[in-house]
Structure 1
Amino acid sequence: MSRASAFNEAQRPLFDPDEAVVQPLPQGRLPSYIADHRRRLRERFMSGGPDALPDYEMLELVLFRAIPRRDVKPLARALLDEFGDFNHVLSAAPERLARVKGVGEAVVTELKIVEAAAHRLARARVLKRHVISSWDAVLDYCRTTMAHREIEQFRVLYLDRKNTLIADEEQARGTVDHVPVYPREIAKRALELNASALILVHNHPSGDPTPSQADIDMTARIEAACVALGMTLHDHLIIGKSRELSFRGEGYL
């Protein structure tokens, strides 16, 4: 056998392919760079509050709990690319969230828990309180619960004789530009609650709170029903993405 042929027979791959397989991390271990990043984010949040973090880092803090052993920054970026900002991610419908690659049931659940907590906190600031003297809190609650919705939602705030909020109920959900409203059902519910006054609230997913003619006509019908029953319609608020419109303030009531 020649020296050349012997050399050819001795050639081997530099690395055995079997040795190049990436092994998963053992259970319970987290790469140090991810653990350090999470620790720094938490420290910045606790020392500076939410204003110290941009949207994608706030979203990372939420995702940490749902995805404990993976870098969640790419998913946070993907969610913001899809929905625009932190608020829109939280308020997105579960089925839309699930379409984003990397989003599973745990992520959807965690986002919806945070959304529900924000709604409850805002609601607690107005429930059982004198609404007229807590108007800023009422507006804040309406913005928190409705400004970032992708479909129209119609809510009714029922007040007692002292203008204390006794119930906040969703009356209807609709499409991106329409929601069915039934004045008779609103009046019936007001009687059941022994309410003396109402505030109507609905959102415009387009972001523009300018009332349509249908909004104006519907409000007039509800006001007529209130007058017939001896109740007061204090206002109808339309919530846009960055501002709201008051029927009372604009002279529609």
Structure 2
Amino acid sequence: MPPKANTEVQSEKPHYHGHRQRLRERFLAGGADALAEYELLELLLYLAIPQRDVKPLAKDLIQRFGSFAGVMAADPAQLMEISGIKENSAVAIKTVQAAALLMQRQQVLDKPVLSSWKAVLEYCHSVMAHEQNEQFRLLFLDGKNALIADEVQSRGTVNHAPVYVREVVKRTLTLGATSIIMAHNHPTGDPTPSRDDIEMTHAIQQALDPVGVQVHDHIIIGRKGHASLRSMGYMEAAKRRRT
């Protein structure tokens, strides 16, 4: 008798393979707007974790950090506290965040910042709104109001970041900036300036005025909005008191 034909039973592909293909097709056809937040995160995660269904993991991350943006802003150590997230996945998430911030930062580089104010606000919101602790940031501008440097001067607690007027003046003069924009975040989400915020702004204005450096604005970033101390009248009020 001829040998019996060798037949192999093909194992079925995991159920999530078809789901991934549908996600890819929806994304290619409609972009990010065609997907829910967790689905966009799922699309990213499966590139880093191809061997498992990452839909539950994406939902866990959104629940833990509140939103897609919150996941992107989380520290790698915080991300890896979630079961299923290892170093590769954390790096993938932080790489996407870094790429997005770089693109936004390049929107304000080498351009007159005051004529692209919306881009400045969007950049500050992207880098600060989802931080869990306060940070104080300075944007240093040249004589044409183009960005020379963007630096975090201090990081603090959930409701305070130390600001040293002398260090602000020193760094401004070192870079040869002719004006600055100050920015800090309120992790509570409410961008309303505190009395300390206003007094600190006035102190820096008073310190920089004698050396010919203008403070264009102090922007406070919340999760869903911002406050401009110039628009609220606090910057001009300080100038009137000095004259």
Considering the TM-score relative to the shorter chain, is it more than 0.5? yes
Tell me the residue number matched to 2:98.
Answer: 116
1:133-144 aligned within 5 A: 133-144=115-126
User: Among residues 55, 73, 91, which one is paired with 2:73 in the alignment?
Assistant: 91
Alpha-carbon shift at residue 30 of structure 1 (Å)? 9.0
Residues in 1 aligned to 2:216 and 2:186: alpha-carbon distance in whole angstroms: 20
- Where does residue 177 of structure 1 map in the other structure? 159
Q: Does 1:161 align with 2:175?
A: no
Matching residue of 2:131: 149
Residue matched to 2:20: 38
Match of 1:219 among 182, 201, 204: 201
Deviates more, 1:91-100 or 1:46-55: 91-100
Deviation at 1:32, TM superposition (A): 4.8
Q: Deviations over 1:14-67 (max 9, x none)?
A: xxxxxxxxxxxxxxx993532222121111111101111111101001101210
Tell me which of 20, 44, 47 is aligned to 1:62: 44
What fraction of aligned residue pairs are identical, expressed as a percent? Answer: 52
Match of residue 198, structure 1, among 170, 175, 180: 180
Corresponding residue pairs, total: 225
Cα gap change, 1:30 to 1:245, in 2 (>3 Å): farther
Query: Residues 173-212 of structure 1, C-alpha deviation per residue, up to 9 Å, x if partnerless?
Result: 1111110111111111111111000000100000000111
Q: Give RMSD over aligned pairs.
A: 1.3
Task: Give deviations 1:48-98, integer Å, cap 9, x for gaps.
Answer: 011111111010011012101110001001111111110001101222212
CA distance in 1 between partners of 2:12 and 2:222 (Å): 43
CA distance in 2, matches of 1:30, 1:80: 30
Deviations 1:126-150 (A, max 9, x none): 0111001000100110111111111
In the aligned structure 2, how far is the partner of 1:223 from the partner of 1:38? 54
Unaligned runs of 5+ in 1: 1-28
Closer, same or farther: CA 99–32 of 1 in aligned 2, 3 Å: closer
Cα separation, 2, equivalents of 1:235 and 1:241 = 19
2:214 aligned with 1:247: no
Residue type of the partner of 2:102? R
Q: Which has the higher Rg, Structure 1 or Structure 2? A: 1
Opposite residue 176 of structure 2, the aligned amino acid is N
What per-residue deviation string (whole Å, max 9, x for no partner) do you get for residues 83-119 of structure 1?
Answer: 1110001101222212111111111111110110111
The one-letter code matched in structure 1 to 2:31 is G
What residue in structure 1 maps to residue 6 of structure 2? none
* Structure 2 counterpart of 1:70, one-letter code: R
User: For the Cα contact (< 8 Å) 1:45–1:53, is it kept in 2?
Assistant: yes
User: Partner of 1:19 in structure 2?
Assistant: none
Match of 1:125, SS state, is helix
CA distance in 2, matches of 1:140, 1:172: 21
TM-score, normalising length: structure 1: 0.86
